Amino acid sequence: MKLLVIGSGGREHALAWHLSKLSGMQRIFVAPGNAGTAREAEVMNIHITEPEALADFAEKEGIHLTVVGPEAPLAAGVVNIFRARGLKIFGPTREAAQLESSKDFAKRFMVRHHIPTADFASFTDSAAAHAFVDKQGAPIVVKADGLAAGKGVVVAMTLDEAHNAIDDMLSGNKAGAGNQGARRVVIEEFLEGEEASFIVMVDGKNVLPLASSQDHKRIGDGDTGPNTGGMGAYSPAPVVTPAIHAKTMREIILPTVRGMAADGLPYTGFLYAGLMIGKDGSVKTVEFNCRMGDPETQPILMRLKSNLLTLLEHAVAGKLDQIDAEWDRRVALGVVLAAANYPNTPRLGDVVSGLPDENEDVHVFHAGTQTLDGKILTSGGRVLCVTALGDNVKQAQKHAYDALVGIHFDGMQYRHDIGHRATSR
Ligand code: AMP
Ligand code: GLY
């Protein structure tokens, strides 16, 4: 049976790795993949935002099921195109993916369906945006309306920062600003609390929650410096207690799935709610993503004991109510190794050496890597995610950090405190 994973990051490496170790006769293809996915899958050089080319390949190769990793192909309509051609794919349609691709759409949706989130206003006129920020005061959050790989958000602690962010985003010189057409910013109330990633599978109607996790968005130790796509993650996240889990399902996930169906955009695919959990036990939605998280997927899939293909088959058949997921009780923790100058313009082409031996409990998932003349070179901002299992967070942390000591590439940066919120609880 042939399966296709679309994407080239650590998340897609983890998906391909999980699918390839299932017993059975799977042949896994990854488009376009990286140096790591080349170990467990066949890498196809097709760009993720060429949905017709991906569908041509799936048709020609007789792909049984396609799973989409990142948001860009979803926003480009890959699911619409595959479905129109009778090809099986797991992900949301372009219209449903607006939950991620347009912050403005997501905020209006949440208001309409009474889903808890930060108060907000959205602007295309910069004078009005500046005036609003002056009226509200800092801290305040300024977001570009459009996909920005987690980097189109400025959490402004001062009014100056907020004004600068508005200028950057409305004039379009920041990554992602306005790449959906209209240039718009969403300005939000600053939420306090602890963040967690709550990812579920949705089949249009039924929901299967995956294990909870927590990302580390800032580049620097102690959560300092600019936001990134994520510098490390672990699963489960202890902040997601059974009570918080139940509340999130009741107040956020189920109303979202029902709301999308009621609005005529039934949601299928992975749905990721970024949560802000207040000290008072309140849960608010910081954002939706229409995909699994990266790097959250790496620790989550290391803990998944169920057969992912079976889960995906149930999802595309609309039968997620008939299955549960089983998890390793241990903790998995992944540390991202990033290129020089990430998250700005990362330097590419540095030679990666000293990769450790892997075993059942330690995996090095590749992201921005490529093979050239037998060498592994950096080819993106986030290069590797060294992920390990342990009986508790401290042990998983120790195993992951022990595994990465020998790895080297010039300018390599990583955080030394992944898991700190769990260990300091
Ligand atoms: P987003 O792309 O919307 O997830 O934002 C990226 C990061 O910015 C989030 O993970 C939070 O750390 C932070 N953030 C976004 N919105 C808010 C908010 N309203 N209050 C506080 N922090 C926020
Ligand atoms: N790690 C955050 C994200 O995938 O959006």
Lookup: tokens for 67: 């799973």
* CB 286 near ligand 1, within 6 Å: yes
User: What's the pLDDT score for residue 206?
Assistant: 98
Distance 153 CA to ligand 1 centre (A): 7
Distance of CA 362 to the CA centre of its chain: 21
Distance 407 CA to ligand 2 centre (A): 24
Take atom 4 of ligand 2 and give the residue whose Cα is closest.
293
Distance (Å, whole) CA 389 – CA 404: 14
CB 212 within 8 A of CB 332: no
* CB 195 near ligand 1, within 6 Å: yes
CB 357 within 8 A of CB 28: no
Take atom 3 of ligand 2 and give the residue whose Cα is closest.
293
- In this structure, the number of other CB atoms found within 10 A of the CB of residue 119 comes to 11
Contacts of 47 (CB under 8 A, 6+ apart): 32, 53
* CB 230 near ligand 2, within 6 Å: yes
pTM: 0.94
Distance 59 CA to ligand 2 centre (A): 30
Closest among 263, 127, 253 to 199, alpha carbons compared: 253
Neighbour-count burial for 123-157, b at 16+ CB within 10 Å, e otherwise: beebeebbebbeebebbbbbbbbbbbbbbbbbbbe
pLDDT tens per residue, the chain (425 residues)? 999 999 999 999 999 999 998 877 789 999 999 999 999 899 999 999 999 999 999 999 999 999 999 999 999 999 999 999 999 999 999 999 999 998 889 999 999 999 999 999 999 999 999 999 999 999 999 998 876 544 578 999 999 999 999 998 887 544 444 444 348 899 999 999 999 999 999 999 999 999 999 999 999 999 999 889 999 999 999 999 999 999 999 999 999 999 999 999 999 999 999 999 999 999 999 999 999 999 999 999 999 999 999 999 999 999 999 999 999 999 999 999 999 999 999 999 999 999 999 999 999 999 999 999 999 999 999 999 999 999 999 999 999 999 999 999 999 999 999 999 999 98
Q: For residue 382, list its beta bridge partners.
A: 338
* CB 215 near ligand 2, within 6 Å: yes
Distance (Å, whole) CA 210 – CA 297: 10
Distance (Å, whole) CA 40 – CA 332: 21
Contacts of 259 (CB under 8 A, 6+ apart): 109, 112, 113, 115
Distance 419 CA to ligand 2 centre (A): 16
- Residue 311: CA atoms inside 13 Å, Cβ hemisphere, count? 23
* CB 336 near ligand 1, within 6 Å: no
Distance 85 CA to ligand 2 centre (A): 30
Mutational test site, ligand 2, from 296, 336, 382, 387, max ligand atoms within 8 Å of CB: 296
Coil, helix or strand at residue 53: helix
Distance 112 CA to ligand 1 centre (A): 21
Distance of CA 420 to the CA centre of its chain: 20
